[in-house]
Chains A and B, each alone.
Chain A
């Protein structure tokens, strides 16, 4: 089911239908379509996927007759209360309090055919609450009037007035009239007065009367007592019928169920202008009948619904008692409809906003389905050819018409939003066509809805939920039907890494359930996929201050490396190289901090340095080697150098990089290394004096144990040493890293450290852009003043706040606090001061100081008085922890200079430290 291209036809439709509620209807089949069509061999137009037909006319062949049409509406002169369709599906009758017209349903529009409201001063008999068109006789109509009159109309009458018969038997509004589906002359009515009457159209009076008071047949413990009343003068009671009335009937107690205490008629359908007027002395307490419907299955059965929430089942031949009665809803049951195919099913709708489907074939009515709508249900109509679909409209608040799949009780399958006011009447145009729905509304319009033009909330509904969790895990909920389909194709193998946390069990008995359920799973993502574990680890383990720069860099590089973040480790190493003079440091540190991430270039540098500093080798050794000796020789040397490195290493920092680790790496690239080696060393020797100058220097430093202070002191003078060798050898390193810019800079050995800061700045920006603000902030803190001035305050602040925010999300409060403390940005460091509350207690009564002043509310004494000057201390207050006396800092200091006793005279020997 795809989406439709916007066609010009759609645009036309919009114009033609200004009442449309904006939503572009998405016509996709909600159901598979397997339920309909084959019966009559009709081309199921509502479910064709052909996009060209969108919003255009739809033609349905129905057993000879042809249904065509499109979504359209026409304006009525007055609000409609009910509509009914002629059996030829070509005409519709609209009835209301001041309208009673027949419209022909043509292809493009409704055409008014007949106005049945004739006469200059239409009587109240024409104020229709309901209308029904006979499903066998095209000329026969019945209306229910708000004044209690039931009228039948014969369109075949030659005169202008088509009124046929008039039954004035009900005392109050007749809510519903209903023809027998097969018996041509039987008409049933249900009224607000609590009675249902059955009329034989060949007679002038009702044949039988059924009272809502009746109890179920054959049941004891009846809730009501029954009395024979005999003749009641006002009522034209039928001779053939025994009328049973409730005792309160005689009292004539007024209990206007549908009219609220405030007098406002709650029931908009009733439209009962008669309201209080229609109360007769015989107005009974019996519950008003809201709907009556003949069963399609049983010739003699009809169902009736009541305002007290009951549904009754009657046998037309037994007016004395109902066959069955049950409470269907909480509050009035406004409507009911028998299923056209599943003959035992009855759908009921009530003020409790629910539509319930009952199986009436069982001994006790069994609730099969329950649909929760958002407003009280005024009408319910099963959708033809769709076993589980029914249409509903509401009595108030909600103006839309919904089509529900009863198996999916929470989301309407389709929604028609054309009406601007309450929809009062709905009717499927043809009993075997599921695509045309007609509706009348209080907004004085008559609409034909095409199912395919309906907006489908199900389609709008998001079938998937997705959320990126804090730790990089993904929560993903998806429609299960698709899941099921896929798992059939590729069986689930039980991957432990991506457990499906939540899985709704599929009920194999009800395949439909799959369509409406979701599977929710939480995936853990792999490192590349954004897992954030490293963030926490890094944050916790990084050292940011309190140690010399070089050590910090090394430590952090190590942390990064251990977490498998080689690039970050490399960066730390480089920072160290840049800001701490490499010549001044034990080069061993440098070499092994390169670690795994180091490439040939660094190894090269490594070996170079090692050679330089190997004790006892001196410059002679170096010269020897620079002559380009045999490879075996160098390898040997190198390995020995490595050993030295490790010794060195243990001495200085106790770093625990295993020796073979380094060795293995070096060996792998020996060939390349030493091919390059001579090239680098040869030109240097004749040209440069610097390296030679450097050698003694290095030796000196290496010989002395590298204390931290020492390193720190020298850190600021990086180009003292002849770092050329290092620099040169660093060059190839960069090809394997993204920090290309650094390499270029390194070519020039005589640059001041400031030069690098630009690069460092760029690097920090790079990391920040990569989403690693942690790196940016950490470097910022570690390097401190060295880079701070190069990065504008705003950016720094932004980084800080972002990082702190992240830390707090991960509940790394300590780290966050440390970062705040170490930050130099004013805005950031003030974060620590915010949201800190000091609770002050009075020093006398020990109660909390409620007001902001200095006087305690409770003991009315000034708190925090200075023991020396006896004034209130408003600034720094110092007190003795022994006797808790204190006062102004200066005063106490001065006092204690002269005396060791407490100024308050408590005798305590105070001590100020």
Chain B
């Protein structure tokens, strides 16, 4: 039993790209990084710099070095970087007027781009332009009342019909999804002039959208987004057509309590959902397209209840 030594509630825990480190953030204003290799847990760093509860952390792709972004109630986004084994603040973004609720790094193919969603309703995009400089683009009034979550679409080269000249850098279409207090999920697309434009508005939730997660695209032609809400519902949105304009929702489940998080497995076939009852459920799409709960991880006991499959028993 090891103490995270956080003095208040933990709001987010994120594993890095290689699954070796775990970053946690808490109301106590700190961000902590643990080495979790081989089942151990060693505190590597305790990052202090925020002046309010830290809501979320996000790891950047390791090709840019060890970079962690955190966002806080203090309206700031801090980008931390590891240099010679020590973590230091590398950039501080204070462009929001209210609590920043979510941060998400764009796929590494785009370069270092960070999307930040804030309670002031705006989403800002920080792009690293080299030499410690960050360019800021802001989408004002992205969500009235506030934005709760942002999630990038995987990098896909657009237009399967357009033949890319070899050697030339592919022209990605950057997209991300955001969820907000206006009960909407919005999809944003970067125009050719570099401006961000609202591409889609997905409407199904009846209360604040708490989290959105764009599924990693592992060989799939379809785009998939999972969203969860204050209303207890989790939707799976899919889009089959190439233009990406028609999204159809499918209700995964209606929970009795707020659903806080949705998280895709790396192969995008399993969705982890955590709800207000402190339970994590794992969902998988069956052959007939229905989502079924395959496991039920109950927080406190660390036991698996509900459908214990044969495989699980064998494992023991």
Interface residues of A (CB under 8 A from B): 3, 22-24, 353, 372, 374, 408, 410-411, 457, 460-479, 482-484, 486-487, 490, 492-493, 495, 497-505, 516-523, 525-530, 532, 535, 738, 768-773, 776, 792, 794-795, 797-799, 802-803, 806, 809-811, 826-827, 830
Contacts of A809 in B (CB 8 A): 17-19, 266
Is the pair A467, B280 in contact by a Cβ cutoff of 8 Å? no
* Interface-lining segment among B81-89, B193-201, B247-255, B303-311: B303-311
Question: Is the Cβ of B146 less than 8 Å from the Cβ of A22?
Answer: yes
**Chain B contacts for A3, CB-based, 8 A:** 207, 230
Can you list 19 contacts pairing A with B, beta carbon distance less than 8 Å?
A: A24-B181, A353-B51, A372-B51, A374-B52, A460-B119, A468-B264, A475-B13, A475-B22, A478-B299, A501-B41, A503-B3, A516-B9, A520-B13, A521-B302, A528-B309, A773-B267, A795-B160, A809-B17, A830-B166
CB-CB nearest 7 A-B residue pairs? A470-B19, A771-B269, A771-B267, A768-B219, A518-B10, A498-B302, A477-B10
Residue pair A526, B312 in contact (C-beta under 8 Å): yes
A493 cross-chain contacts in B, Cβ below 8 A:
301, 303
Kindly identify, within residues 286 to 316 of chain B, every residue whose CB is under 8 Å from any CB belonging to chain A.
287, 294-295, 297-304, 309, 311-312, 315-316
A179 CA to B268 CA in the complex, in Å? 67
Interface string of B1-41 (1 = CB under 8 A from A): 11111111111111101110010111111000010100101
CA–CA, A8 and B33, complex, Å: 47
Please give me the residue from chain B that is nearest to A518 by CB atom: B10
Minimum distance in angstroms from A837 CB to a CB of chain B:
14
- Whether a CB of chain A sits under 8 angstroms from the CB of B270 is yes
Q: Is the beta-carbon distance between A520 and B4 smaller than 8 angstroms?
A: yes
A479 to B25, CA, bound (A): 13
Most chain B CB within a 10 A radius of its CB, from A22, A520, A527, A802: A520
* CA gap between A802 and B310 in the complex, in Å: 31
C-alpha spacing A529/B51, complex, angstroms: 38
Residues of B within 8 A of A465 (CB): 10-14, 24-25, 261
In the complex, what residues of B have CB within 8 A of residue A463's CB?
Answer: 9, 11, 260, 276
- List which B140-166 residues lie within 8 A (CB) of chain A: 144-146, 156-157, 160, 164, 166
Look across to chain A and name the residue whose beta carbon is closest to the beta carbon of B59. A467
Since A411-B8, A476-B299 are in contact, a sample of 16 more A-B pairs with Cβ atoms closer than 8 Å, ordered by chain A residue number, is A465-B261, A466-B260, A466-B280, A470-B266, A483-B299, A486-B278, A490-B301, A492-B301, A501-B39, A503-B2, A505-B1, A521-B302, A522-B36, A802-B217, A802-B219, A809-B19
Give Cα A374–Cα B96 distance, bound, in whole angstroms.
Answer: 14
Is B99 among interface residues, defined by CB-CB distance under 8 A?
A: yes
Which residue of the partner chain, among B220, B309, B312, contacts A769 with CB atoms under 8 Å?
A: B220
B265: interface (CB < 8 Å): yes
Residues of B within 8 A of A502 (CB): 2-4, 34, 41
Inter-subunit contact B260/A464 (CB<8 Å): yes
| Interfacial chain A residues near B160, Cβ < 8 Å | 792, 794-795
CB of B132 within 8 A of chain A? no
**Is B244 in the interface zone, CB < 8 Å from A?**
no
Which residues does chain B contribute within 8 Å of A473, judged by CB atoms?
15, 19
Residues of B contacting A525 with CB < 8 Å? 282, 295
A36 to chain B, nearest CB (A): 24
CA distance in complex: A467, B265 (Å): 9
Q: A487-B300, A502-B41, A503-B1 are in contact. Are A461 and B272 (CB under 8 A)?
A: no
How many angstroms between the C-alpha atoms of A771 and B268 in the bound complex? 6
B73's contact among A411, A472, A811, by CB below 8 Å, is which?
A411
A-B interface contact total, Cβ < 8 Å: 283
Q: Report B277 CB to chain A, min CB distance, Å.
A: 8
Q: Which residues does chain A contribute within 8 Å of B299, judged by CB atoms?
A: 476, 478, 482-483, 486, 519, 521
- Asked whether A776 lies within 8 Å of B219 as measured between CB atoms, the reply is yes
Verify if B167 is at the interface (C-beta below 8 Å from A). yes
State the CA gap A411–B9 with chains docked (Å).
Answer: 10
Residue of A nearest to B216 (CB): A802
Which B residues touch A798, using CB under 8 A? 156, 217, 219
Are A461 and B303 in contact, CB atoms less than 8 angstroms apart?
no
Q: Within 8 Å of chain A (Cβ to Cβ): is B263?
A: yes
Judged by a CB distance under 8 angstroms, whether B136 is at the interface is no
Report which of B13, B181, B269 forms a contact with A477, defined as CB distance below 8 A: B13
Q: Is the CB of B270 within 8 A of A529?
A: yes
Given contacts A529-B295, A802-B217, A523 and B280 within 8 Å (CB-CB): yes
B55 at the interface (CB under 8 A from A): yes
Contact B303 A498 (CB under 8 A): yes
In the assembled complex, B74 has its CB within 8 A of some CB on chain A: yes
Which chain B positions have C-beta within 8 A of A771?
218, 265, 267-270
Residues of A within 8 A of B18 (CB): 470, 809-811
Known: A468-B264, A517-B9, A523-B302. A461 touches B36 (CB 8 A): no
CB closest chain-A residue, reference B167:
A830
How distant is the Cα of A374 from the Cα of B94 in the complex, in angstroms? 13
| Cβ–Cβ < 8 Å partners of B7 in chain A | 410, 517
**Chain A, residue nearest B280 (CB):** A476
Partner of A410, one of B28, B145, B220, B316: B28
A526 B146 Cβ-Cβ under 8 A: no
CA distance A896 to B202 in the complex (A): 73
Do A486 and B300 have beta carbons less than 8 Å apart? Answer: yes
Shortest Cβ distance from A347 into chain B, in angstroms? Answer: 20
Of the candidates A462, A466, A478, A830, the one having the most CB atoms from chain B within 10 angstroms of its own CB is A462
Residues in A neighbouring B29, C-beta threshold 8 A:
372, 410
Does B9 contact A795, Cβ atoms closer than 8 Å?
A: no
B189 to chain A, nearest CB (A): 20
Q: For A773, what are the chain B residues with a Cβ–Cβ distance below 8 Å?
A: 218-219, 267
Q: What residues on A are CB-neighbors of B287 within 8 Å?
A: 738
Contact B315 A497 (CB under 8 A): yes
Complex alpha-carbon distance, A486 and B301, angstroms: 8
Give the residues in chain B near A490, CB-CB below 8 Å.
300-301
B117 proximal to A (CB < 8 A)? no
Cα(A806)–Cα(B217), bound, Å: 11
Confirm or deny: B274 has a beta carbon within 8 angstroms of a beta carbon on chain A.
Answer: yes
CB distance from B289 to the nearest CB of A (A): 11
Most buried by B among A374, A772, A797, A811: A374
Whether A468 contacts B272 in the complex (CB less than 8 A), given A532-B266, A809-B266, comes out as yes
CA distance A23 to B145 in the complex (A): 5
Chain A residues positioned under 8 Å from B15 (CB to CB): 467-470, 473, 475
Rounded to whole Å, the gap between the CB of A666 and the closest CB of chain B is: 23
| Alpha-carbon gap, A772 to B262, bound state (A) | 21
Q: How far is the CA of A638 from the CA of B18 in the complex (A)?
A: 51
Nearest CB of chain B from residue A462's CB, rounded to whole Å: 5
Cβ–Cβ contact B210 & A462, under 8 A: yes
Contacting pair B295 A461 (CB below 8 A): no
Report which residue of B24, B75, B156, B166 has the largest number of chain A beta carbons within 10 angstroms of its beta carbon: B24
Q: Are B274 and A466 in contact (CB under 8 A)?
A: yes
Nearest residue, chain A, Cβ from B41: A501
With A470-B15, A771-B218 already in contact, the answer to whether A517 and B8 are too (CB < 8 A) is yes
In the complex, A574→B156 CA distance in Å?
A: 32
In the assembly, what is the distance between CA of A490 and CA of B41, in Å? 27
Q: Considering the chains assembled together, what is the distance between the CA atoms of A486 and B267 in angstroms?
A: 32
B3 contacts A504, C-beta separation under 8 Å? yes
Please give, as numbers and ranges, the residues of chain A lying within 8 Å of B179 by CB-CB distance: none
Q: Choose from B9, B13, B156, B219 the contact partner of A479 (Cβ within 8 Å).
A: B9
Contacts of A374 in B (CB 8 A): 51-52, 73-75
A810 to B18, CA, bound (A): 6
Q: Do A826 and B12 touch across chains, with their CB atoms under 8 A apart? A: no
- The chain B residue sitting closest to A811, CB to CB, is B18
Q: Which of A465, A470, A497, A773 has the most CB of B within 10 A?
A: A465
Closest CB in chain A relative to B297 CB, distance in Å:
5
Question: B119 contacts which of A23, A500, A517 (Cβ < 8 Å)?
Answer: A23
Chain A residues within 8 Å of B26, by CB? 518
- Chain A residues with Cβ below 8 Å from B267 are 530, 532, 535, 771-773, 806
How many Å lie between the Cα of A298 and that of B60 in the bound state? 58
Do B302 and A504 touch (CB < 8 A)? no
Q: Mark B185-217, 1 if CB is under 8 A from A, else 0.
A: 000000000000000000000010010000001
